[in-house]
Structure 1
């Protein structure tokens, strides 16, 4: 019996898939939270319910006016016992922390490290929630968690799809609850 010649169409071929990079589990589970200005009260209430020793890290990406220069980190710190910090430079994610996007920037996650990035318009729009959620899905794969709170527009929709496709958990605030800003997850 002879072996089929190289390139023989009758020869079985192996299907090779790109290897999935293993997720480093030395970083805590990361919950990406997306909201616009309309979701600030819901965000306050949500963070106020998080136990101080949950072991989770939260990355808050707000879709705000680029000119917004508020004191959001201080506001969130009043609502939670978790440490709140604005991401102004690269930082390794730690448990029981809340990381907040800086005004008029973007965030990405690579190997458990948050990186501040220049806003990259998608389809002519600045969509920081989608950008972060996609990097979260790629970095954490099935260990990614995405939550969208009330707001306007579609920012976060494509990112939630990426998280879901990676096997992660996706949550969205019920619009009926958004009117009264009720959200109970814990």
Structure 2
């Protein structure tokens, strides 16, 4: 299961439309698992999975504890729970908020880096403050690939700018470019994994 490439995405303010646009670019045969954290109000049920499911050909579902990490599936963090990854499965935690958020992007990114290392792609999109910057740096440190939305087009550019300041980033990309970029990166990961077997 650890050979499934993992794409982890973090966003906050302005993220709804951006996530819809990104998910619409993913093809039906996308060979990675996608996990998404958008900052959410803790007391309001999230409808993000339902909303993204209308624009995505892949199945989009809430990230529930014990769900399997499978290619071609999109998981979305639910309200008031951190989402993490373990080898082959998703876990949830009601741990303390980070960056004033639960779910927090850094929590997901750190766990992805720890368990999936070079099979991880981290993506930071529009948002305020700096959640995700440290987690993206950890993905980079452990051999994964890092992508930041071009701050010039982000509705709220603080998260992209802080991610760029925190560590070297592999790609700064416009939203329209991300689907093709992710597809190429995931195929490269699968090929390298097959060659190493």
Task: Please indicate, yes or no, whether the TM-score normalized by the shorter chain is above 0.5.
Answer: yes
Q: CA deviation at 1:182?
A: 4.2
Q: Distance in 1 between matches of 2:80 and 2:7?
A: 21
Query: Higher helix share goes to which structure?
Result: 2
**Counterpart position of 1:60:** 36
CA 1:92–1:70: 2 relative to 1, 3 Å: closer
Q: CA deviation at 1:116?
A: 1.0
**Counterpart position of 1:11:** none
Q: Distance in 2 between matches of 1:66 and 1:183?
A: 31
Q: Distance in 1 between matches of 2:81 and 2:149?
A: 24
**Counterpart position of 2:192:** none
**Counterpart position of 2:177:** 184
Which of 82, 101, 104 lines up with 1:126 in the alignment? 101
**Counterpart position of 2:160:** none
Q: CA deviation at 1:156?
A: 0.3
**Counterpart position of 1:91:** 67
- What's the C-alpha RMSD, in Å, of the aligned pairs? 1.9
Which of 13, 38, 55 lines up with 1:79 in the alignment? 55
Q: CA deviation at 1:66?
A: 1.6
Q: Which has the larger radius of gyration?
A: 1
**Counterpart position of 2:26:** 50
TM-score (norm 1): 0.80
Q: How many residues align?
A: 161
Counterpart secondary structure, 2:153: helix
**Counterpart position of 1:101:** 77
Asked if residue 149 in structure 1 is aligned to residue 142 in structure 2, the reply is no
> 1:70-100 CA deviation, whole Å, 9 max, x = no partner?
4111100001010011023211111111001
> Does the CA-based 8 Å contact 2:46-2:78 persist in structure 1?
no
CA 1:120–1:32: 2 relative to 1, 3 Å: same
